[in-house]
Amino acid sequence: MKVIVLGADGYLGWPLSLRLMAKGHEVVGVDNFVTRKNVREVGSDSAIPIPEMAERIKAAKEVHGFKMKFHEGDITDYDFLHKVVKEEKPDTVVHFAETRSAPYSMINAKHASYTMTNNISGTLNLIYSIMEVNPLIHVVKMGTMGEYGTPNFDIPETAFVDVEINGKKDRITTPKFGGSWYHWSKVHDTNNILFANKVLKLTATDIMQGPVYGTRTTEITDERLHTRFDFDEVWGTVVNRFCVESVLGVPLTVYGSGEQIRGYLSLEDSIQALSLLIENPPERGEYRVANQFVELLSINNIAETVKKAAEKEGIKVNIGKYENPRVEADRHYYKPEIKVLPKLGFRPTLKMADLAGQLVKDLVPYKKHMAKFHDRILPYTNWRRTENTR
């Protein structure tokens, strides 16, 4: 299969590209390196330094014999994206090329607007490029479990639900309520993909993924093959951030009550799930939703797990309590459905409790590098403020 990976330089895009090549697929990467730039903008860097793309591709060839093609460019530029899709004639396009930080989108008006524009225009450009070049191309679009918010009902893994309002029945799109401008940009993407499916018969898998953690996948066997690993308050997702905090001796940044629950999964499991969804496309013209997570855990559960794992490695860890900079429910019901991936044969590998120790160990060699960005870890970006530039 020939797969274009939009966002191939990213945390998920790079390991997915390696996995697809390991499975014998042809991979064409696309990226404009904006995550590297935006992480530098907030005064931070990947905990694990990553080489430039040319060096990554060279390393993949030397270590595994993989041949990867790459186009540098911005997918909000329609002519660029259309040209790549036309030239490469893929079977599938994986779409990761979006800005993925909730706090970044909440910094101020400029960042909110950038997040919306980058994410929504890129997706629209992809829909149009596919429709113009070959409507049979399968789009694997990465959304987020955060699109659903934390409703007081079981979250269905469906595009539509049946409702009765004032005695009249109808079908409406599954209710969503994002918790940041970033999450709303993903909700708008979902609506746009659903509409493209309805009017243009776009074939799409819309993945609702929970936060991912980890440093490793089977193919990351050499220092030059590492994927990026963000940990500052703007770009770091919670588990990865806690592991860095353990190594640097920062009390783990539990926001609010710590009882907020989400569905988490390891990098290895995310890549396994993505490969299954790519290799098992939906029917032509079908819109498929896939919820993607492995364990439902509270922030307090995660803090305890990371503390225990780090202490086994001889690192003393304190758990901190911080006022929640976000506007979110502290205590809530949370029960998302997951049936698409298990049906395709998804079998999670290791749980967080088994992986956290290795993760912490993998970070220790980079302690000096991470320490340079020590002052970017504690929560600063506050949802209640309209200006959060330092």
Ligand X SMILES: NC(=O)c1ccc[n+]([C@@H]2O[C@H](COP(=O)([O-])OP(=O)(O)OC[C@H]3O[C@@H](n4cnc5c(N)ncnc54)[C@H](O)[C@@H]3O)[C@@H](O)[C@H]2O)c1
Q: How many positions of this chain bind ligand X (CB under 6 A)?
A: 28
Q: Does 12 bind ligand X (CB under 6 A)?
A: yes
Identify the active-site residue in 104, 182, 287, 334: 182
Q: State which of residues 142, 297, 306, 310 lies at the interface with ligand X (CB under 6 A).
A: 142
Q: Does 16 bind ligand X (CB under 6 A)?
A: no
Identify the active-site residue in 144, 190, 205, 227: 144
Nearer to ligand X, 209 or 388 (CB): 209
Q: Is 176 a catalytic residue?
A: no
170 CB-near residues (< 8 Å, 6+ apart): 162, 163
Q: Which two tokens stand for residue 187?
A: 């909700």
Beta carbons of 5 and 13 less than 8 angstroms apart: yes
Closest CA to 244 of 226, 258, 232: 232
Work out the end-to-end distance of the chain between its first and last CA atoms, rounded to an integer number of angstroms. Answer: 46
Give the CB-nearest residue to ligand X: 10
Identify the active-site residue in 186, 203, 264, 334: 186
Beta carbons of 348 and 294 less than 8 angstroms apart: yes
Interface residues for ligand X in 229-258 (CB under 6 A)?
237
Q: State which of residues 137, 196, 212, 261 lies at the interface with ligand X (CB under 6 A).
A: 212
Q: Does 96 bind ligand X (CB under 6 A)?
A: yes
Q: Does 74 bind ligand X (CB under 6 A)?
A: yes
Q: Does 31 bind ligand X (CB under 6 A)?
A: yes
Per CB under 6 A, the segment of 97-105, 274-282, 356-364, 366-374 that binds ligand X is 97-105
Nearer to ligand X, 98 or 233 (CB): 98
Interface residues for ligand X in 295-324 (CB under 6 A)?
none
Per CB under 6 A, the segment of 70-78, 150-158, 309-317, 327-335 that binds ligand X is 70-78
Nearer to ligand X, 228 or 307 (CB): 228
Nearest-10 crossing angle of helices 299-312, 238-248: 40
Footprint on this chain of ligand X (rule: CB under 6 A): 7, 9-13, 31-35, 74-76, 96-100, 118, 122, 142, 144, 209, 211-212, 228, 237
Which residues have a catalytic role annotated?
144, 182, 186
